[in-house]
Amino acid sequence: MYRATRILIVGCFIGGAISVPAVAEDGSAKAQVCAACHGADGNSINPDWPNLAAQHPTYLEAQLHAFKSGARKNPNMTAMAAPLSDQDITDLAAYFSKQTLKVESVEAAQVEAGAKLYRGGNMGTGVPACMACHGPNGAGNYAAKFPSLRGQRASYTTIQLKAFRAGERTTDPQGMMRAIAAHLSDAEIENVAKFVSALH
């Protein structure tokens, strides 16, 4: 398990106190309630629920805040996020980001079509390559707050892409994912979801 020493800094600058960075251990106890769905180490026990392990902490924080505010709709997650403080959210995100992602093996034949869409997009329908934002290996883009997709559950990714396509999920910046998903077929969604689930 990741270990770090939490350093308490007491002091002030003009205009405010020094903030102390989140440390993964702060979230370990708080994460116990998350384990029922997402696994103690952030690897989910149900294919419809996301893996949280190794996800960018800024993305995890943004999604928890969205669930808490109701900007992202999910009755279960809204109830779970409602009592969380800003510090709780920061600590949980730090904890899960430090966990090791377990990537399931997928037959090569099952990911071939998804690989083509992920790497090259679909010029005929105006769908850009997924790797333009999420990276060649699915690691995402930390600075741009684009999430890591590698090793994500295929069923969960399928559900989310269909939610974007239907306009049911609206937390994507400038509607980027809704605009892209609007041009994806069911087969394309399922194929690319299988592909990213096998990315390392």
Structure tokens at 83: 């009592």
Query: Residue 177's pLDDT is what?
Result: 98
Query: Residue 105's pLDDT is what?
Result: 87
Q: Residue 34 and residue 45: Cα distance in Å, rounded?
A: 11
Rounded to two decimals, the pTM is: 0.86
Query: Residue 21's pLDDT is what?
Result: 54
Q: Which of 97, 116, 141 corresponds to the end of one domain?
A: 97
Q: Is 3 within a domain?
A: no
pLDDT band, residue 11 (cuts 50/70/90)? very low
Inter-residue contact 97 to 57 (CB < 8 Å): yes
Pair (171, 92) in one structural domain: no
Residue 49 scores a pLDDT above 80 = yes
Q: What is the pLDDT of residues 80-104, one digit of tens each?
A: 999 999 999 999 999 999 999 999 8
Query: Residue 19's pLDDT is what?
Result: 39
* 65-74 mean pLDDT: 97
Q: Is 19 within a domain?
A: yes
Torsion angles phi and psi, residue 42, rounded to 5? 85, 5
Task: Please count the residues of the chain.
Answer: 200
Pair (121, 149) in one structural domain: yes
Pair (92, 112) in one structural domain: no
* 65-85 mean pLDDT: 97
Query: Residue 191's pLDDT is what?
Result: 97
Query: Residue 200's pLDDT is what?
Result: 86
Q: What is the pLDDT of residues 140-180, one digit of tens each?
A: 999 999 999 999 999 999 999 999 999 999 999 999 999 99
Residue 125 scores a pLDDT above 70 = yes
Q: Is 102 within a domain?
A: no
Residue 16 scores a pLDDT above 70 = no
Q: Assign residue 156 the CATH number of its domain.
A: 1.10.760.10
Counting the structural domains of the chain, the total is: 2
Pair (86, 130) in one structural domain: no
Crossing angle for the helix pair 154-166 and 186-197, nearest 10 degrees? 140
* Burial readout 10-47 (b: 16 or more C-beta within 10 A, e: otherwise): eeeeeeeeeeeebbbbbbbeebeebeebbbebbbbeeb
Query: Residue 106's pLDDT is what?
Result: 86
- Torsion sign (Cα): 153, 158, 161, 166: negative
Domain region containing 59: 12-97
Q: Which of 73, 97, 121 corresponds to the end of one domain?
A: 97
End-to-end CA distance of the chain: 21
Pair (122, 181) in one structural domain: yes
